[in-house]
Amino acid sequence: MFDAGTATVVVVGAQWGDEGKGKLVDVLAERADLVVRYQGGANAGHTVVIGDTQFVLRQIPSGILHAGVVCLVGNGVVLDPETFFGELDQLAERGIDTAGRIFVSERAHLVLPYHKLLDAASDKSQKLGTTGRGIGPAYEDKYGRRGIRVTDLRRLDCARALLTERVERANRLLEMMGAGERASLEQHGALLERLAPRLLPLATDVGLLVHRAVREGKRVLLEGAQGSLLDVDHGTYPYVTSSNTTAGGAAVGAGIGPTLVHAVLGVVKAYTTRVGNGPLPTEAESPDEERLRQLGGEFGAVTGRPRRCGWFDATVVRYAARVNGLTGLAVTKLDVLDSFDRIPVCVGYELDGERCDQMPAEADALGRVRPVYERHEGWRAPTGAARRLADLPPAARRYLDRLEALSEVPVRYVSVGTRRDQIIEVSGG
């Protein structure tokens, strides 16, 4: 993706998340100098497999697994400091040196224990099927202008005053919700004191670092979490996450201007999955759904929850291509389809008896659509060893060609297994 005119690339999920962005970022990070996370919190779990070791990264950009790559957590992220330091410690235990390679935006908001208590007590979170890690309440505080940011730790006395107000407010809400637990001011105060000396040395103006890096001719990857259909504006509202997962969010959440974004790679599975509640038009029927889930290992990286599985939905990907301005596609998990005899692909919808080729704004309407399927012949052969398009069975190539035509975005990468080397780079990419 990087070339003379392309120094900054955004990697976004173009479905409902878990598309394998972690693996793509890991592969692309080899050629990058900086990797920036721009939104989300510790609810996103990227899984990267290197050799026999599996890393699940929630807060730290997966670029950290490449020596020499500098990783930044942008202002658009809500930072769960305990998870963050837990991850740093785990990386250290596995011999990965992160010193001088990880920085956090001083403008990022903190996810604190009271956010998690509020999340756990909220009926809404349960109805939406959130991960319950305090992300939603932390974003609510951000937009309600009562958040606590990394920079606030620089003046602990002020931070403590903020905290008193926030903890009292959280406890009033918890009482109203009928929750048994209460947030402890003492515990929160002690947490901030413990955090400050470790977090502040990493705190910086991330936007400025990215800006300077681009001016110096460095290569920057901007890494999204979740997927486009979970974007708070463009997703299947209200079954969405609390941030802008789409490429526009990359500029805002990293602290750079949109003109600094040169390319946008959309990651899609060769089929579709979704975690949590909300419409999924191409959800497969039994036993295909279980088969996709087992073959694809479709269980949440953070929660272990089984993912709902279905067929490739071209309406979703075309929509994601438009709202993100995708310049390339990475199709992952092609190998998961290796044993299927016939593979349906959704080419459009019928809504209330009429053809509908655009994404409806209402979740209810999306819940009512009937997918229009094409049925493709399976290739019934393993693809995991393919390293060039020419190594793939003809039926697999035809399948990819069709996904490309329907999505109206060129396929630049095809992933055929969990390992770093199991990737096909399409020439011109």
Binding residues for ligand GDP, rule: CB under 6 A, are 13, 18-23, 44-47, 49, 297, 301, 332-333, 335-336, 415-418
Say how far apart CA 365 and CA 299 lie, in whole Å.
Answer: 27
Structure tokens that stand for 222 in this block: 């901007």
Torsion of CA 324, 334, 279, 236, to 10 degrees: -10
Q: Tokens 């785990």 map to which residue?
A: 90
Q: Quote the least distance from Cβ 338 to ligand GDP, whole Å.
A: 9
The residue (of 49 and 156) whose beta carbon lies closer to ligand GDP is: 49
Torsion of CA 285, 286, 290, 291, to 10 degrees: -90
The answer to whether 47 touches 54, Cβ cutoff 8 Å, is yes
Q: Quote the least distance from Cβ 258 to ligand GDP, whole Å.
A: 23
Q: Quote the least distance from Cβ 417 to ligand GDP, whole Å.
A: 5
Say how far apart CA 401 and CA 96 lie, in whole Å.
Answer: 39
Helices 185-199 & 113-121, crossing angle to 10 degrees? 130
Q: Quote the least distance from Cβ 196 to ligand GDP, whole Å.
A: 30
Q: How far is the first Cα of the chain from the last one, in angstroms, to the nearest whole number?
A: 5
The residue (of 171 and 415) whose beta carbon lies closer to ligand GDP is: 415
Structure tokens that stand for 365 in this block: 């309407």
The residue (of 232 and 356) whose beta carbon lies closer to ligand GDP is: 232
Angstrom distances, CA of residue 122 to CA of 117, 178, 279, 302, 325: 9, 10, 21, 20, 35
Q: Quote the least distance from Cβ 178 to ligand GDP, whole Å.
A: 34
Burial per residue of 384-423, b for 16 or more beta-carbon CB atoms within 10 angstroms, e otherwise? eebeebeebbeebbebbebbbebbebebbbbbbbbebebb
C-alpha triplet 79, 85, 91: angle, nearest 5°: 120
Q: What are phi and psi of 16, to 5 degrees?
A: -105, 25
Q: Is 18 a catalytic residue?
A: yes
Q: Quote the least distance from Cβ 194 to ligand GDP, whole Å.
A: 29
Q: Quote the least distance from Cβ 15 to ligand GDP, whole Å.
A: 9
* Of 262, 273, 316, 264, residue with least CA distance to 295: 273
The residue (of 57 and 203) whose beta carbon lies closer to ligand GDP is: 57
Structure tokens that stand for 18 in this block: 């878990």
Active-site residue, selected from the candidate residues 26, 33, 46, 80: 46
Q: Quote the least distance from Cβ 4 to ligand GDP, whole Å.
A: 29
The residue (of 24 and 314) whose beta carbon lies closer to ligand GDP is: 24
The residue (of 20 and 348) whose beta carbon lies closer to ligand GDP is: 20
The residue (of 203 and 267) whose beta carbon lies closer to ligand GDP is: 267
**Within 278-416, where are the H helices?**
288-296, 314-324, 363-368, 394-407
The residue (of 122 and 246) whose beta carbon lies closer to ligand GDP is: 246
Q: Is 80 a catalytic residue?
A: no
Helix, strand, or coil here: 312?
A: strand
* Of 337, 352, 329, 336, residue with least CA distance to 414: 329
Angstrom distances, CA of residue 77 to CA of 41, 109, 222, 306, 344: 6, 7, 12, 26, 37
Helices 156-176 & 185-199, crossing angle to 10 degrees? 140
Catalytic residues: 18, 46
